[in-house]
Amino acid sequence: MRLGILISGRGSNFEAIANAIARGKLEAEIAIVISNRANAPGLEIARQRGIPMRVIASAGIEREAYDKLLIEELETHQVDLVCLAGFMRMLSASVIRAFPNRVLNIHPSLLPAFSGLDAQRQAIEFGVKIAGCTVHFVDEFLDSGPIILQAAVPVLEGDTLEALSARILAQEHVIYPKAIGYIVDGRVTVEGRRVMVREEE
Ligand code: GRF
């Protein structure tokens, strides 16, 4: 399965996916990494590993026009599965239509709690005792598609934003490659909001 990974920044989830592939734990190939920001540090990870990458700058471009460019690039690289990994832009319905049930996202909260920006900060400010992360299918709405996998972590007394974010991120790096593996292995079916994952054979 050919993955298209969309990033805007650090790229640590992209790196975790690339590591899982390199270690033979995920049978997939990263066909292209696309960043909407030219200065995304994640691009350097792609460069060092010789993974094809492309900047499609989004500043000043309307959503539909931008998404058309994205779709073209993804199709050029024959991408089967689109993985948003810290991609800080909403996608329009055209991308979802071009890749039905084939766009994934990772979000640093236990959805549906704390969607949107600064999820870890929202969790601390709300005072929850359990936080976590979610891999879900992407639909046209923010952080709202069917959930494939979640991991929970404790919020400790005296946690700083950095400490909680790091604890969540470590779990992101586990569940994102795992969820992609479920799809690569054809084990996933979606019924409405519910995602079923068949047992491994
Ligand atoms: C992660 O916390 C992810 O859950 C969120 O954006 C952040 C991206 O981090 N969507 P990275 O670029 O993968 O390091």
- Read off the pLDDT of residues 163-191 as tens digits, 9 standing for 90 and up: 999 999 999 999 999 999 999 999 999 99
Ligand 1 atom 6: the closest Cα is on which residue?
86
For the Cβ of 10 lying below 6 angstroms from any atom of ligand 1, the answer is yes
Average pLDDT for the chain: 97
pLDDT of residue 201: 75
107 is catalytic: yes
| Whole-angstrom distance, CA of residue 86 vs CA of residue 88 | 6
What per-residue confidence (pLDDT) applies to 71? 98
**163-166 long-range contacts, Cβ below 8 Å, gap at least 24?**
164/120, 164/123, 164/124, 164/131, 165/108, 165/120
Mutation test of ligand 1: which of 7, 12, 109, 164 has the most ligand atoms closer than 8 Å to its C-beta?
Answer: 12
Cα(36)–Cα(55) distance, integer angstroms: 6
| Length reported for the chain | 201
Q: Left if phi > 0, otherwise alpha if psi is -120 to 50, otherwise beta: which for 192?
A: left
Residue 200: its pLDDT value, please? Answer: 85
Q: 10, 134, 143: which to mutate for ligand 1, most atoms within 8 A of CB?
A: 10
